[in-house]
Amino acid sequence: MGIFEAILLTVITAATPLVLAAIGELVTERSGVLNLGVEGMMIMGAACAFIATQLTGSPYVGILAGIVSGALFSLLFGFLTLTLVANQVATGLALTILGLGVSGMIGEAYVGQSGIKLPQIVFPVLSDIPFLGPLLFKQDLIFYLSIALVAGVHWFLFRSRAGLKLRSVGDSHASAHALGINVIRTRYLAVMFGGACAGLAGAQLSLVYTPQWAENMSAGRGWIALALVVFASWRPWRIVIGGYLFGAVSISQLYAQAFGIGIPSQFLSALPYLATIVVLILISHNRRMTLINTPAALGKPFVPDR
């Protein structure tokens, strides 16, 4: 039971940044915007969160710095694609490359430094429950924020008037504009939310997952988060299921080596990305399910009538 509990705790830690980045991208794509720069926003969030924590001594300031950096970076994407109507795919790829470069530059002086880990929130009595206590009632703030965000996004999209407007913008921006909805403003807010979530995911990497800074420490998690949105068919609660499945695959390499399983380490390192490719191939065969939930205006530029 102790080993199983330890494995689940590691899965939770590995899955949290995937859930956060994916839920932010889900909202962005629901508005009709395809932002492939999740990896760049994540790594900027990780760098800024670690640097802010080192300078102030407070990981909570680091969390705020990660969120703000992700949101600001997403604004650059929004300006280029929504205001200047640049190609969303090319701009997202450029944003990822820019984020990797800038984060490496500003974080160079912090490589190798010991970080300050975000403390756990312990619920009295509940945290002492065997097995479930450590899993659910003895976690860090970012874990609880990830669950709260998924629940909040689900309510927002399917139970609120603002969520209905956002989905209408993603399905038909021309019709939404004709009804008086400000399409550009709605998409800007959705893009900023996605950036903030990606920045928070990056903060989790440098403050919880591995409390230190290393160049390219996001290690492709932004791309997995993008695949998660498709895997979840743009449904918030499916993000949690997919995130924890991918988290389990990601940490399998650690326990396979610890248990002495004779599988090449290179294959285990590639396993999360191989799983991503397999999932996307399987989803592509169920075209009907994909088309039902895919925002009809996803990736399409919108220029309001002058």
Would you state the CATH architecture of domain 2-112+128-293?
Answer: Orthogonal Bundle (1.10)
Q: What does the DSSP 8-state code read for residue 208?
A: I
**Along the 306 residues of the chain, how does pLDDT read in single tens digits?**
577 888 888 999 999 999 999 999 999 999 999 999 999 999 999 999 999 999 999 999 999 999 999 999 999 999 999 999 999 999 999 999 999 999 999 999 999 898 899 999 999 888 888 888 888 999 999 999 999 999 999 999 999 999 999 999 999 999 999 999 999 999 999 999 999 999 999 999 999 999 999 999 998 899 999 989 988 889 999 999 989 988 888 787 777 666 666 677 667 677 777 777 877 777 767 666 666 678 999 999 998 875
The pLDDT of residue 258 is 64
Prediction pTM value: 0.92
Find the helix or strand (DSSP H, E) in which 40 lies.
Answer: helix 38-56
The pLDDT of residue 271 is 74
CB neighbourhood size of 88 (10 A): 22
- Concatenating the DSSP letter of every residue in 49-97 gives HHHHHHHHS-HHHHHHHHHHHHHHHHHHHHIIIIIS---HHHHHHHHHH
Q: Is the dihedral of CA 184, 188, 189, 191 positive or negative?
A: positive
- Three-state DSSP at 126 gives helix
